[in-house]
Structure 1
Amino acid sequence: MIEFIETTKEFQVGASTVTALNHINLSIQKGNIFGVIGFSGAGKSTLIRTVNLLEEPTSGRVLVNGKELTTLTKKQLREEKKNIGMIFQHFNLLHSKTVFENVAMPLIISGVKKSNLEGQVKEVLAFVGLTDKADRYIDELSGGQKQRVGIARALVTKPTILLCDEATSALDPQTTKSILALLKKVNIEYGITILMITHEMEVIRDICHRVAVMENGRIIETGNVLEIFSTPREETTKNFVQSVVRDEIPPSVYEQLKSIDTSKKIYNLKFIGVDVGQPIVSQVAKKFAVDVNVLFGNITELQGIPFGHLIVELVGSDKEIQKAFLFIQAKNIQIEEVVARESEHTNYYRSGSRYAVHG
């Protein structure tokens, strides 16, 4: 559906060359909601703008529905762009026009007769829940309603692809949820492939099937949402995941790590799916000569699948603790020992290969 092949984009800034995209290779399958996340300056906006040629790649290729847009004639390109809708962070609406006129604009530009476009506009306004706002002007709408107008405008040409450029970052949390629900509805009912860029990991968690993480113009990690949240590899990915899945040890618990006691060890347990329902704590306490203290835990949901963390302290002999460790591992639960260490100015904890900092 959308394929980036060694895609590179460079900008000239004075005498310097800035590489916004650095040999991107990425495939987005038909019917997916695909998220691209990264910090400001990572290259996200440039990436999405190469799909509809708002930015033309310096080198490499971008294929949309099997076609490389840079090779098309102007007439062919106009036709192909009808298949690509786009919604923006700050709506990009015409304040001098009504809601109806804003939504109709792409059809008017394409030369569709007024008698033909009215039905299409009314259909998408009903779909986004704005039928009663058709004659209102943009300044009379809330932020969420403005973004619904933007979505309706993007849908009116019946595209197969929808590009979302930070579509929810200007909205409050409750409105964000309603817009994400609408985008999910667009994907399911119209079968439209959605490529969305964001710096909000909550958006990725709530709506996306797959995700790519960008840093310094490169794709550093890709996978389905459950994989990325449960086993992030790159440090940047881990930082994003921890903004949603709070699996870091709180400072109050960290104080317990600083005391040296050979009769106890602390572990981080990860539960996915049906494993969340396992009474693992009570089972360990009954089966082995260890005391189990729960220090911290939480559960979130990823695409309808429960995902949880539990930090526990096991107190007992090394032999019994090892037996308990192997028992938990055999239950298909990820388990990592949490080890504390100190530097001169900063306290660290480590859970497997993960680090966090408490200043």
Structure 2
Amino acid sequence: MIEFRNVSKIFKSKTRTVEALKNINLTIEKGDIFGVIGFSGAGKSTLLRMVNLLEKPTSGQIFVDGQDLSKLSEKELRQAKKNIGMIFQHFNLLRSKTVFDNVAMPLKLRKTPKSVIEERVNELLRFVDLSDKANSYPNQLSGGQKQRVGIARALATNPSILLCDEPTSALDPQTTTSILQLLKRVNQEYDVTILIITHEMEVIKQICNRVAVMQNGEIIEEGTILDIFSKPKTETARNFVRSVLKDEIPQSIFNILQSNGKFSKIYNMEFIGESSGKPVLSQVAKSFAVDVNILFGSINELQGVPFGNLIVELQGEEAEIARAYDFIVQQNVLVNEVVRNGS
């Protein structure tokens, strides 16, 4: 559907040269909700704008539906762009136009018959639950409603690809969730492939099936959501995952544990899929001479797969703790020892 082959982008001015993208190779399959995450300046906005050639690559090729966009004539490129919708961080609505007219704008530019415009716009306003706002103006809408108008406008021409430029960063958490749920419906009911860039890992967690992590113009990690959350390979990815799966123990807890005088070890345990439903710690407490102290726990669902995280202290004799550790590992649980702060 979308393929980057050895894509680089260099911005030059009189005083400096910036390499915004460095040899990007990336494939986004039809039907994906693909997320690109990175801090400011990572190159993700430049990457997004390459898909519809708002930015042209300095080198490399970008294929959309098998077409190399850089090889198309202006007429062919205009036709190709009709298949690509875009929604923006700050909505980009025309303040002097009603909601209906904002959604209708792409169709009017294509000289679509008035009857077709009316039918399509009304359909989309029903889809985004804004039928009662058709005659309202943007300044009469909430942030979430404005973004719903932006989504309806982007879908007006029946695109097969939707580009989302930080679509929820201006919204509160509750509104963010509702917009992400709407984008999921767009993907499923209209069969639209979605490419979304963000700096919020919670957005990736809620909506995407695949993700790429960017840093300094490069893709440093890529995989399924489950891969990235359960086995992040880079420190940047680990930091993003920690922002959602908070698993750090406060120093005050370490101090309390150290003051009790008992020998113990602390482990971070990750339960994926079927292992999430196993009473592993209950079995450990019954089968081994150790005390189990749960310090932290959470469970999430990633693309329909349960993903649990526990931080547990095992108290007892060192040999018995080792036996309990071996048992836990045999239950298909990923276990890492937590190094105590200050030790």
Contact 1:50/1:56 (CA < 8 Å) preserved in 2?
Answer: yes
- 2:133 corresponds to which residue? 133
Find the aligned partners of 1:60 and 1:255 in 2 and give their Cα distance.
55
- 2:152 corresponds to which residue? 152
Find the aligned partners of 2:336 and 2:120 in 1 and give their Cα distance.
56
Find the aligned partners of 1:256 and 1:61 in 2 and give their Cα distance.
58
Q: Following TM superposition, by how much is the alpha carbon of 1:256 offset from its aligned partner in structure 2, in angstroms?
A: 4.8
- 1:355 corresponds to which residue? none
- Say yes or no: does 1:30 pair with 2:33: no
Contact 1:258/1:340 (CA < 8 Å) preserved in 2?
Answer: no
- 1:278 corresponds to which residue? 278
Find the aligned partners of 1:179 and 1:186 in 2 and give their Cα distance.
11
- Shift of the 115–295 alpha-carbon distance from structure 1 to 2, 3 Å rule, reads closer
- 1:220 corresponds to which residue? 220
Which amino acid is the alignment partner of residue 236 of structure 1?
Answer: T
- 1:41 corresponds to which residue? 41
Find the aligned partners of 1:120 and 1:300 in 2 and give their Cα distance.
38
Find the aligned partners of 2:310 and 2:24 in 1 and give their Cα distance.
37
Which amino acid is the alignment partner of residue 106 of structure 1?
Answer: P
Contact 1:257/1:340 (CA < 8 Å) preserved in 2?
Answer: no
Contact 2:106/2:157 (CA < 8 Å) preserved in 1?
Answer: yes
Query: Per-residue CA shift, 1:162-212, capped at 9, x if unaligned?
Result: 000000101111111111010000000011000000011110000000000
Q: Which aligned pairs between 1:45-56 and structure 2 lie closer than 5 A?
A: 45-56=45-56
Contact 2:6/2:23 (CA < 8 Å) preserved in 1?
Answer: yes
Q: Which moved more, 1:22-31 or 1:250-259?
A: 250-259
Which amino acid is the alignment partner of residue 107 of structure 1?
Answer: L
SS at match of 2:340: strand
- 1:248 corresponds to which residue? 248
Q: Following TM superposition, by how much is the alpha carbon of 1:264 offset from its aligned partner in structure 2, in angstroms?
A: 1.9
SS at match of 2:57: coil
Q: Following TM superposition, by how much is the alpha carbon of 1:258 offset from its aligned partner in structure 2, in angstroms?
A: 5.4
Note the aligned Cα RMSD (angstroms). Answer: 1.6
Which amino acid is the alignment partner of residue 212 of structure 2?
Answer: A
Find the aligned partners of 2:197 and 2:263 in 1 and give their Cα distance.
48
SS at match of 2:51: coil
Q: Which moved more, 1:272-281 or 1:235-244?
A: 272-281
Find the aligned partners of 2:252 and 2:301 in 1 and give their Cα distance.
26
SS at match of 1:340: coil
Q: How many residues align?
A: 343
Q: Which aligned pairs between 1:259-270 and structure 2 lie closer than 5 A?
A: 263-270=263-270
Find the aligned partners of 2:156 and 2:336 in 1 and give their Cα distance.
51
Which amino acid is the alignment partner of residue 60 of structure 1?
Answer: G
Q: Which moved more, 1:121-130 or 1:290-299?
A: 290-299
Query: Per-residue CA shift, 1:77-111, capped at 9, x if unaligned?
Result: 11111100000000011011111111111111112
Contact 2:254/2:341 (CA < 8 Å) preserved in 1?
Answer: no
Contact 1:212/1:219 (CA < 8 Å) preserved in 2?
Answer: yes
- Unaligned 5+ residue runs, structure 2? none
- Shift of the 132–262 alpha-carbon distance from structure 1 to 2, 3 Å rule, reads closer
- Shift of the 257–62 alpha-carbon distance from structure 1 to 2, 3 Å rule, reads farther
- Say yes or no: does 1:322 pair with 2:322: yes
Q: Following TM superposition, by how much is the alpha carbon of 1:257 offset from its aligned partner in structure 2, in angstroms?
A: 6.3
Q: Following TM superposition, by how much is the alpha carbon of 1:44 offset from its aligned partner in structure 2, in angstroms?
A: 0.7
Which amino acid is the alignment partner of residue 93 of structure 1?
Answer: L
Find the aligned partners of 2:152 and 2:120 in 1 and give their Cα distance.
10
SS at match of 1:22: strand
Q: Following TM superposition, by how much is the alpha carbon of 1:295 offset from its aligned partner in structure 2, in angstroms?
A: 2.0
Q: Following TM superposition, by how much is the alpha carbon of 1:290 offset from its aligned partner in structure 2, in angstroms?
A: 1.6
Find the aligned partners of 1:66 and 1:278 in 2 and give their Cα distance.
46
SS at match of 1:292: strand
Contact 2:270/2:335 (CA < 8 Å) preserved in 1?
Answer: yes
- Unaligned 5+ residue runs, structure 1? 343-348, 350-359
Q: Following TM superposition, by how much is the alpha carbon of 1:260 offset from its aligned partner in structure 2, in angstroms?
A: 10
Contact 1:211/1:223 (CA < 8 Å) preserved in 2?
Answer: yes
Contact 1:124/1:156 (CA < 8 Å) preserved in 2?
Answer: yes
Q: Which moved more, 1:129-138 or 1:179-188?
A: 129-138
- 1:345 corresponds to which residue? none
- Say yes or no: does 1:332 pair with 2:332: yes
Find the aligned partners of 1:88 and 1:257 in 2 and give their Cα distance.
49
SS at match of 2:119: helix
Find the aligned partners of 2:174 and 2:70 in 1 and give their Cα distance.
40
TM-score (norm 2): 0.96
Q: Following TM superposition, by how much is the alpha carbon of 1:261 offset from its aligned partner in structure 2, in angstroms?
A: 6.2
Contact 2:251/2:341 (CA < 8 Å) preserved in 1?
Answer: no
Find the aligned partners of 2:116 and 2:260 in 1 and give their Cα distance.
77
Contact 2:264/2:313 (CA < 8 Å) preserved in 1?
Answer: yes
- Shift of the 330–139 alpha-carbon distance from structure 1 to 2, 3 Å rule, reads same
**Percentage of matched positions with identical amino acids:** 63
- Shift of the 61–256 alpha-carbon distance from structure 1 to 2, 3 Å rule, reads farther
